[in-house]
């Protein structure tokens, strides 16, 4: 029996078909979440406190770090609760909020990564005009556009999903309330919702990724024309961190949202989704700190400031 508007709880199956794996995943997710909180908070603080990081590049990185903090917090506490104990339910309202936040922030990250690629393109291909083009006002507008598009995507995508007639068992085959899993939960025709999701995925995943690849194609051409080996190394160094983040994020997101509809793909998609929701926000700060001399320098300067009052 279907229920179109019942506020009954949903059951997040998560990884219940792998009971022996749940406790291991609990420790992995808990550790990753702690690293996400510490790493991204540190990047935000350094970007605010260190004047040498008051540039468009680090403005966008701090936006990404704040986004990742919110992104993981929207789903990880619920996931940890589900992995640790037998209780795997989430209320209808809780599911709706999680779905809205998860969709909005995921979309924002897609656009923000494309904006960051444009910033790197201007820095390397138009270095003499960089300060004029990427002035603070434009940087703020580009970041705002990314956040607004994420919000609008949720406003458009979520209501049709929540109004689906869900099957009476209300068992969501995922670890988070997400559009593909809720569409699969419906016992009636979901052709319209699937078309809407596919179109949104193409528009908000494939298009930004294409723009990023075009930007890096132009960057690569410019870098190869640099005569100095040191200059080429420096140019590659400013882009490699962002390119790695892009690769990790889009590969996992595309697997989740553009996969074929079958049980094997759904099971595989949950693990890719876990990496998309938990792994990439953990790796992002590590990528930007371990591969970036400016961030490491800012961290050392912050430690020196902390030590000075103690020494005096």
62-81 residue pLDDT tens: 999 999 999 999 889 888 88
pLDDT at 1: 36
| Per-run averaged pLDDT (10 residues), the chain, 312 residues | 54 80 89 92 89 89 93 89 82 89 92 93 90 92 96 92 85 84 85 87 91 91 81 74 83 76 61 82 80 76 73 55
Strand, helix or coil for residue 12: strand
Which residues touch 5 (CB under 8 Å, ≥6 apart)?
none
pLDDT at 146: 96
pLDDT at 139: 94
pLDDT at 34: 94
Q: Which two tokens stand for residue 63?
A: 């936006």
Q: CA distances (Å), 68 to each of 29, 190, 270, 281, in order?
A: 15, 31, 19, 5
pLDDT at 266: 60
**Candidates 3.50.50.60, 1.20.1090.10, 1.20.1070.10, 3.20.20.150; CATH matching 10-311:** 1.20.1070.10
Place of tokens 């590969």: 251
Q: How does DSSP classify residue 128?
A: G
pLDDT at 2: 40
Residue spans of the domains in the chain: they are: 10-311
CA distance 276 to 228: 38
Q: CA distances (Å), 241 to each of 65, 98, 109, 139, 269, in order?
A: 14, 29, 16, 20, 25
């Amino acid at each position: 029996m279907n229920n179109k508007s019942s506020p009954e709880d949903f059951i997040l199956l998560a990884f219940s078909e792998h009971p022996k794996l749940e406790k291991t995943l609990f420790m992995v997710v808990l550790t990753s979440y702690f690293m996400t909180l510490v790493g991204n908070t540190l990047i935000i603080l350094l970007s605010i406190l260190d004047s040498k990081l008051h540039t468009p590049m680090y403005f966008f990185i701090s936006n990404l770090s704040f986004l990742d903090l919110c992104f993981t917090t929207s789903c990880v506490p619920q996931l940890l609760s589900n992995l640790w104990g037998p209780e795997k339910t989430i209320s209808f309202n809780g599911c709706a909020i999680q779905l809205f936040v998860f969709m909005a922030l995921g979309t924002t990250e897609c656009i923000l990564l494309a904006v960051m690629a444009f910033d790197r393109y201007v820095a390397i291909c138009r270095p003499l005009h960089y300060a004029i083009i990427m002035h603070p006002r434009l940087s703020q507008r580009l970041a705002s556009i990314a956040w607004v598009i994420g919000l609008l995507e949720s406003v458009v995508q979520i209501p049709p999903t929540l109004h689906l007639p869900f099957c009476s068992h209300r068992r969501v085959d995922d670890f988070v309330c997400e559009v593909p899993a809720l569409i699969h939960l419906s016992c009636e025709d979901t052709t319209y919702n699937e078309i809407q999701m596919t179109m949104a995925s193409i528009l908000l995943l494939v298009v930004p990724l294409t723009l990023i690849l075009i930007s890096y194609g132009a960057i690569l051409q410019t870098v190869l024309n640099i005569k100095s080996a040191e200059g080429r190394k420096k140019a590659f160094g400013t882009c490699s961190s962002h390119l790695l983040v892009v690769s990790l994020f889009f590969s996992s997101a595309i697997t989740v949202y553009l996969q074929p509809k079958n049980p094997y793909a759904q099971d595989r998609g949950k693990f890719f989704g876990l990496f998309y929701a938990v792994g990439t926000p953990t790796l992002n700060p590590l990528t930007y700190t371990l591969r970036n001399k400016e961030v490491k320098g800012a961290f050392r300067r912050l430690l020196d400031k902390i030590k000075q009052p103690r020494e005096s």
